[in-house]
Structure 1
Amino acid sequence: MWFLDPLEQQGASWISATGAHGLGRDPELEAILLRAENDSVNRVLEAVGLADRTAHQAELRAMIRAYGQLARSGGRDWLLKGILTREQVHSLMRHCLLTIVEDVLPAAISTDITEK
């Protein structure tokens, strides 16, 4: 999964930098992290074919941001704690993303996900 390669390379420093938001951190760092989060959301939406969808864009982006939190947590348990393997994190992320796109998004927005 594209997300795991850079995570593996940057490891603990990335996870530390993306900890709890707003707890006395530098505003410039917050802005950088927010841009990175938005870029990640954009990449996931592109990967699942929903980047051009205009209806319910706020809901789509919020759910993908929540997926990003899952990825960060899985990354911590893999890289920092050694509880999960890369393969386990990949499987978790893959199955959860499929569930979000195929089941959760359509149910949450109560429309056909393929409509624009």
Structure 2
Amino acid sequence: MRTLPDKITELTLPSGKKVKVDGNGYLTDQHDWTPEFTEYRAEQEGITLTPLHHEIIKFIRDWEEEHGIMPDVRFVFKYLSKRNGVNKAGAKAVLYELFPYGYTGQAIKMAGMKQPRAWSTG
């Protein structure tokens, strides 16, 4: 997967705020992210957000802020394992229940991260 730079469009959120997204709907500048973007993207994806969705999105954003790179899905599995008292398979099931099209397909997109240049998990 790669950002489609020739397909960058300006998206107007319900509040009127404009953000730029690539051809796959990822923000081109993660600093443009707002909770409204998450709500908008979730609606487009047919997801009703729960507190756990917001918790995962916050985990992704906090990790990126602290480490300067978005977390690999294995760190999200570890977080969910501890939080829910489940093993890795259980954490994976929880993540895919929340984000049916996967970590890169939905979770990081809703968290406002740029589309990964290459990603082999999620």
Which structure is higher in helix share?
A: 1
Higher-Rg member (1/2): 1
Question: How high is the TM-score relative to the length of structure 2?
Answer: 0.25
Which structure is higher in strand share?
A: 2
